[in-house]
Structures are given as C-alpha cells and as structure tokens.
Structure 1
Amino acid sequence: MHDLKALRADPAAFDAALKRRGLPPVAGQLVARDEERRAAMAGLQEAQAERKTLAREIGQAKRKGEDSAELEARAVALRERIAQLEEAAAALQSEVDDVLAGLPNQLAPDVPEGADENDNLELSQWGERPDFPFEPRQHFELGEALGLMDFPAAARLSGSRFVMLRGALARLERALGQFMLDTHTGEFGYQETTVPLLVNDAAMYGTDKLPKFAEESFRTTDDRWLIPTGEVPLTASVMGEILSEAALPMRLTTLSQCFRSEAGSAGRDVRGMLRQHQFTKCELVSITRPEDSEAEHERMTRAAETVLEKLGIPYRRMLLCAGDTGFGAAKTYDLEAWLPGQKAWREVSSCSNTRDFQARRMNARYRPAKVEGESDKAGKVAPAFVHTLNGSGLAVGRVLIAVMENNQQENGDITIPEALRPYMGGQEVITKAG
C-alpha cells in the first residue's frame, strides 16, 4: 500500500515511479477522488455537529412545552443527509483504496531500467560449471532412470505438475530442507517457525498476494488460502502489531509445503519438477527498522548464497530490472543455479526488500526509542511502519534438481555433496538400487 499523504505532496513523483513500472499516471485521479472524500467528510462532520445542536434544541423545546415539529422535521432531513454523506465518503474511500491496492511498490533508485528478465543485471558468479566428458542429462531423465522419480503415479493421483519422489531421492529432498534450516538458524540467527498452511484473506492481502495474485493461489471451500509461500504466514505474524524497537530485527525461517496454481504458465517447464503445484521451500523473513532494511537485504541474500556454496552449486546473483521486479518488491536479487542438463541458469532463490509496502497493508509498526520532540499524546514516540523482507533460502525442489544435475555420473548415479552426507546416514552415492 502507498502513503496517500506523500502522494498528495508530490503527485508528479508518484506518477514517475509508476512510469518505471510501465504504468500510466493515476495521481491526479487519486488526488481528485481524495479531495471529494475529504469534502464529504467535512460536510459529514458539519452535519453531525448540526444534529447535536438540533437534538439539544428539540430537548429544550419539549421541556418548555413548545412546538418542536419544525425542528424534528429538520432533524429527519439531516439524518438522511448524514446517511448520504456517509455513503458517499465510504464509496470514495473504497475507490481510492481499490486503486492503491492494485498499484505495485515503488522501485528502489538503483533498480536498473528494463522490460523483462533479459534486462536483468548480473552482479556476480560463484563456482565453476562442471565440464562433463559426456552429454549431461536433465534431472527428470536421471530420476526416472534411477526409478526414484515418478511422474505418472503423481499424475494419476493429482494431474500434471506433481511428482512422487522415492527412496534416496525422497531422503535427499528432506536432507536439503533440514540442511537449509540448520544453516539459517545456526549461522544466521533465524528463528525456526512452524506455520499454518492455510491463511485468511487478511494475511494474503497484507503480504500483497491479494487481490492481484488470486488466480495464482488455491482457495478452499471455506474461503481460506493454501499458502503460496512461507512468506505469507511468517510476515503476517506481525499484522496489526506495534513492536518494540528492541525486538528488531526479527529474523524468521520456516520449511513448509507451498501451493501455486501456476496460472498462465501453460507450456512452460512441462517436463520435470521445476514448476510444480506443490513444492517445499525454506523461507526467510526479516522485520526491520527502515534504516536497516537495505543492509538486511544484503545479509539475507548472503545467507541464501551460503547454502549454495556449501553444496558446491555454481550460481550467479542477478539484480532484477524494473520490468521484472515483483509487484510488492522495491528491489530484488535472484540467485540462479547452473543446470548442466538444461545448459541454463535457473532461479532457485528470490530475495526482496518490500520496504514499508507490506507493513502499510497489514498495519505492522514499531515504536522507536523516545527522542526529545517526537512524542504522541501519551508522551511516547509515535509508532512507525516497519520494513519487511523475504527470500527463498532456498527452493528445495529446485536445489534438488541442481544437486542432481551438477553431481551426475556417466552411469546415471548421483554423488551426494559432502555437506548433505550426515543427513543421509553417511551415504555418498545414489544408485539405481536406491
């Protein structure tokens, strides 16, 4: 959500920010509607004050035995006028809110211009891409040849974009998730959290998934939502709260199942498990003071990179351009792992700073330590909106793919990275025997 006060103060800057997103100007429309709302509210307050005065006059007339019919007729007309003004003000407020809710976050100044993923900026690369003496296979070819990746069985149960992992591959997926959690909690101070997989409209709206992305999520018959990412319950856990400054930064992580309808992705990544309706992801969320969020963004991205480095997976860090930055993000880094089977870089993590965009939608604030001259009516410093950040730390299924393709052998076996072997009972290689 956007600050309407700031929009009124500088509508040209607001429209310029929208232009970077390829959107038309709306500031003039919003300011005009807000002026109408403010006028309706002013009229409403005047009418309510007049109603109080009339009520006193009617009471006095009745106590004196005087005829109050004219006053009562004016009161009836005034009640109708108040109802009309309330309806008009509410309708104008709803119109303004609906427009604001559909507008993306303003981009950080250092986000490069560009139309799509082809204009993203590569910032760095890590690791050496393997040079196999044979033609590397894709993950689904390896998994099916091992007899441990079953797409037909999943399709019989649930349709396309599902998979059943068996034996050592199922354990390897579990090992990856546990390894990620241990790294983030042990080395980076994130608090492990178990989250609900079903959330309400308020949680989805507060984390900018509604109304824009309703078609990309699954809704239950009792009007709850299967989480599209652990970001939703982790971030929304501070919805409506006023946190103490001493509680910040909050760093939370969860390993959860996630669910996405993949609307609009027909024909993309049909083979394999790159784009699934159900997948496992280790999520990172930080709640910070505004002045700390930029440094926290770097720290969060570094935490995700550390997991890839410990696994020996070549990756690159990308700064997303204006046209590819997500709806709620002010700035996003993508981490892309090298997949030898595809001969391509593919995203395995996306780390975003949303600044106060989500906080305004879910009214999440903190109370800074008191500074002289900055106090509210209670004598305390007025609450301010927190900044929220989220990142994949990492997408488990996609990292499983990267592990398989980067560690494949000519005979189809998979060498298990050393960092994962303690989670695999010491097993070093996955073979067709499991």
Structure 2
Amino acid sequence: MIDIQLLRKDIATVAARLATRKFQLDVAGFTALEAERKAIQTRTEELQGKRNALSKQIGMLKGKGEDTSAVMAQVAGLGDELKADETALALVQAKLSDFIMAVPNLPHESAPVGEDEAGNVEVRKVGTPRSFDFEVKDHVDVGAALGLDFEVATKLTGSRFSVMKGGIARLHRALAQFMLNTHVDEHGYTECYTPYMVNADSLRGTGQLPKFEADLFSVKKGGVEGEGETFYLIPTSEVTLTNIARDEILPLDQLPLKMTAHTPCFRSEAGSYGRDTRGMIRQHQFDKVEMVQVVHPDTSYAVLDEMVGHAETILQRLGLPYRVMSLCTGDMGFTAAKTFDLEVWLPAQNTYREISSLSNTEAFQARRMQARFRNAAGKPELAHTLNGSGLAVGRTLVAILENYQQADGSVEIPEVLRPYMGGLTHLKA
C-alpha cells in the first residue's frame, strides 16, 4: 500500500499521479475520514488532560481529608467517554486502512503516461522473425499431432485447461528445468519449493486481496460451507516467495534476497471476457518460473533492469524473437511502480504476445507485509520488492511450437533444450 503520509501531506499531487493510471482517488472521502480521526484524537487528548487534572485534585482532597466522591464520579464519566472514543477511533482507523488498501501504487516518474496498452513504449526489439515457405499453423494445430490435447482436458475439468502427453509433456518439463537451472546457476537465485495454496494474509501482502478476489480460486478446508479455514490457490509464486519476507527484519548483509520457483499458477480469468479461448495463451492452470528479489531501496531500479536481462537470457538462448515494452501508467498492474513486459513473436498470430512481466513495486508490498531490513544505522527500514516471470512455461512452449514448426508437421527442438530431451532434435508424430 502507499504511504498514508503522502496523502496527508499532498493529496492533490497523489491524486493527479494516480489519475494517470485511471484511478480516481476519493479525495473528499479521505479528507472526511482524516478530519474525523483528528477530531477524535483531539477530544481524547483533552479528556485525558481533564482526567489527569482531576486525578491530581483527588490526591489533594485526600491529603486534606475531604470528600472525593464527586470528583471521582467525574473521573469515571471521563473514563466512559475515553472508552467510547477508543472504539470510535478504531472504527475510523479500520475505514482508513480499507481505503488505503484499495489505492494502487504510485507510478514511477519514468513510466510512460498512457491510457491503455496503446500507450506502451517499445524499448528494443531482439531477433528477426523467421520466414516460412509453407502455411504457418498455430500451436493448437501443431501440437495436436504431438500430444497436446484440449478435448481430454475439457472432459476431465472444463474449458481453459490442457493435457500434454509424450514428447510435448517432456518439452514442457525441459523448459522449466532449463529456466530454473539458468536462474540458479548463472543468475544467483535460490531455488524454492513453496505451497500451491496460501492464506488470505499472504494475498493481502502482495496485493491480490482485497481488490482481486474474483480472479482467485478458493478452497475451503474440510469442504464444508461456512466452516473451516479458506485457502487460495496461488495465481503466481510471487505470492509465496515475496511473503517469505513478511514480518521479518532482514540483516543488511542478506540483501538482495533472490528467489526463484517453478509452480503451477491458478487464475479464474474473471475479466478476460472470452479472449484467447483457443489454446494455451490464457488458461485457468499454467506453469511459470518466477523470479523475486527483496532489495535495498537504493538499488531497486538497477535490479529491475537486471531482472529484465535475466528473462531476456532465456528467450535469447531459445532463439525466440521478442521485444521489450515499457508499460504505460494506464496498463500497469495494481502493485507496480514500473513494469517492463517481454513479448515473444508468434508467427500464427503475426504479432508479439506477452511472455514475461517484470515489476518494481518499491515499498508498496513491503509496507503491507512489514518486510523490512536493518539499515546501516541499525534501524528497521522497508525493503523494495521486485518480481517477474522467467518465463511463463506454457507460453514459451507455444512460441517454440509456432516458431520451430516444420513443413512435415514436426517441431525442431532448440539446441539448448536437447540435453534435457535425451538428445532428441525433433518432436514428431
């Protein structure tokens, strides 16, 4: 969440910056809550002052042997008023907390200003799309003969799921292993295995709750309606990896904390409205290799560039054409201050599609989680958190099927993946 002190000091500037990301800050609502909070706190201080004065008066009366009952009755009445103010203040503080939790992060000054994806800015383009001398098929048609099955998945579960068999399943696994090995062995991340279900506190910490509950799959412990604890299937291992730092004060020498994990991800795609219903581009369950860093605030933007490079390494070694996009304010995610997307070339669509999104959330998540470190002066300070895909495994598989397809229906396996495939050079029906 954003720092409430920013709203208290210069709410007009904050509102203007948030407006660039299509968020209308309720200035009047916040101002009213703040006025109520201040009034209660002022009244509380006055009542405490009166009570202290009366307590001294009681002491003086007792010293003189005089009757204190009337003054004590006044003190008791003030006590009742103070309890009422304490209750009222807690209610206002809860409303302020709810207000702040619904406010997105402030965009970094370097983020392009724009309404939607049309305002995103291309930073660079890498690789040249392949020219085909035969009719290009999409990944659904290419994969059908190689073990990619959507009909069986629909029978097993429903739409927006897939089943992979044989060589294509092995290729999917090879991609995840290649990504993990690269990030761990070369980029210095620690591989983690984390739960696929989390509690609500974890999702609040990284910003999925309360705003995006409709995008999540929930699981009731015990399966009885109204009973037991509710868990949520992770939409990304960003949630679990980042929350490892929740309620922690890390020693300065432990920064940066670099973690990676390969997990399935579960999303209801509540706002997709029928987009990408064909194939693996937008599914309810998909795999991703995630990168997370918890860093010193002074280094977070250098780290963001570094993480973009880590994700680019995967695409470059796979020989996939791609471009890097700087997302505009109107297209960034709720928690992000600055985001770069990597978009891979898909020949069947004749366009680039997102395959990785890498964001610096600055202290936005850390403030929610109280993820801190002890600075050089020995004082606790909020860390900065960053996350990014390195990469989305299913979409990378899609890109390989389409970019490496052959005229005979086979798919050439990128050279870097062949050791993971037992030396196999092609997937064939």
> Do Structure 1 and Structure 2 share a fold, with TM-score over 0.5?
yes
**Equivalence map 1:269-418=2 (5 Å):** 269-370=276-377, 381-418=378-415
Q: Which residue of 2 aligns with 1:218?
A: 217
What are the equivalent positions in structure 2 for 1:122-201 lying under 5 Å apart?
122-146=122-146, 148-201=147-200
Contact 1:117 1:324 in 2 (8 A): yes
Partner residue in 1 for 2:4? 4
Residue number in structure 1 paired with 2:90: 90
Give the TM-score taking structure 1 as reference length.
0.92
Distance 1:89 1:339 in 2: 56
Q: Give the fraction of aligned pairs with identical amino acids, expressed as a percent.
A: 47
Secondary structure of 2:40's aligned partner: helix
Q: How far apart are 1:264 and its partner, in Å?
A: 1.8
* Alpha-carbon displacement from aligned partner over 1:39-59 (angstroms, at most 9, x marks no partner): 312332443455566567668
Unmatched segments (≥5 aa) in structure 1: 371-380
Q: Is the 8 A contact 1:231 1:285 kept in 2?
A: yes
Deviation, structure 1 residue 119: 1.7
- Residues 114-148 of structure 1: per-residue CA shift (max 9 Å, x gap): 111122111111111111111111111111123x0
Per-residue deviation, residues 230-255 of structure 1 (Å, max 9, x unmatched): 10011111011111221111111011
Residue 77 in structure 1 maps to residue 74 in structure 2? no
C-alpha separation in 2, matches of 1:64 and 1:201: 60
Q: Distance in 2 between matches of 1:43 and 1:382?
A: 33
Distance in 2 (CA, whole Å) between partners of 1:316 and 1:197 is: 31
61-70 or 400-409, which deviates more: 61-70
Q: Kindly state the Cα deviation for residue 173 of structure 1 after the two structures are TM-superposed.
A: 0.6
Give the structure 1 partner of residue 236 of structure 2. 229
- In the alignment, the residues of structure 2 paired with residue 229 and residue 204 of structure 1 have an alpha-carbon distance, to the nearest angstrom, of 10
Q: Does 1:24 align with 2:21?
A: no
Does 2:427 match 1:425?
no
Aligned to 1:111: 111
Distance 2:49 2:422 in 1: 76
Matched to 2:109, the amino acid is P
Deviation digits for residues 15-45 of structure 1 (CA, Å, limit 9, x no counterpart): 2211212233434542442243133123324
Check the 8 A contact 1:297/1:351 in 2, yes or no.
yes
Offset, 1:327: 0.8
* Alignment partner, residue 375 of structure 1: none
Cα deviations by residue, 1:350-380 (Å, 9 ceiling, x for unpaired): 000111111111111111112xxxxxxxxxx
Kindly provide the CA deviation profile for residues 63-111 of structure 1, in whole angstroms up to 9, marking residues without a partner as x.
Answer: 9986544234323422321122112211221222211111111111111
* Correspondence list, 1:233-248, <5 A: 233-248=240-255
- What is the SS of the residue equivalent to 2:124? strand
Asked whether the equivalents of residues 123 and 325 of structure 2 are also in contact (C-alpha less than 8 Å), the reply is: yes
- Give CA-to-partner distance per residue, 1:128-170, whole Å, 9 cap, x none: 1111111111111111123x01111111121111111001111
* C-alpha distance in structure 1 between counterparts of 2:157 and 2:234, whole Å: 18
Distance in 1, Cα, partners of 2:47 & 2:41:
10
User: Is there any run of 5+ residues in structure 2 with no aligned partner, and where?
Assistant: 221-228
Distance in 1, Cα, partners of 2:29 & 2:271? 31
Could you say if the C-alpha distance between residues 56 and 165 of structure 1 is closer, same or farther in structure 2, counting changes exceeding 3 Å? farther
Q: Residues 200 and 62 of structure 1: is their aligned pair in 2 closer, same or farther, counting only changes over 3 Å?
A: farther
Q: Provide the secondary structure at the position in 1 that maps to 2:24.
A: coil
- Aligned residue for 1:137, secondary structure, equals coil
Q: Contact between 2:25 and 2:103, CA under 8 Å: does it hold in 1?
A: no
User: Take 2:407 and 2:43, find their aligned partners in 1: how far apart are those partners?
Assistant: 79
Check conservation: 2:343, 2:352, Cα contact below 8 A: yes
Q: Shift of residue 207 of structure 1?
A: 0.4
Distance 1:83 1:303, change over 3 A: same
> 1:380-434 CA deviation, whole Å, 9 max, x = no partner?
x4322111100000000000000111100112111111100111111111111xx
Matches of 1:4 and 1:212 in 2, distance apart?
A: 18
Q: Secondary structure at the match of 1:352?
A: strand
The question of whether the paired residues in 2 share the 8 Å contact of 1:220 and 1:226 is answered with yes
2:226 aligned partner: none
- Is the deviation greater in 13-22 or in 310-319? 13-22
Judge conservation of contact 1:197–1:226 (CA < 8 Å) in 2.
Answer: yes
Amino acid at match of 1:75: V
1:251-297 Cα distance to aligned partner (Å, 9 max, x none): 11011111111102131111111111111100000111111000000
Q: CA deviation at 1:183?
A: 0.5
1:399 alignment partner AA: T
Distance in 1 (CA, whole Å) between partners of 2:269 and 2:338 is 23
Given that 2:249 and 2:371 are in contact with CA atoms closer than 8 Å, whether structure 1 keeps it comes out as: yes
Whether contact under 8 Å (2:196, 2:233) holds in the other structure is yes
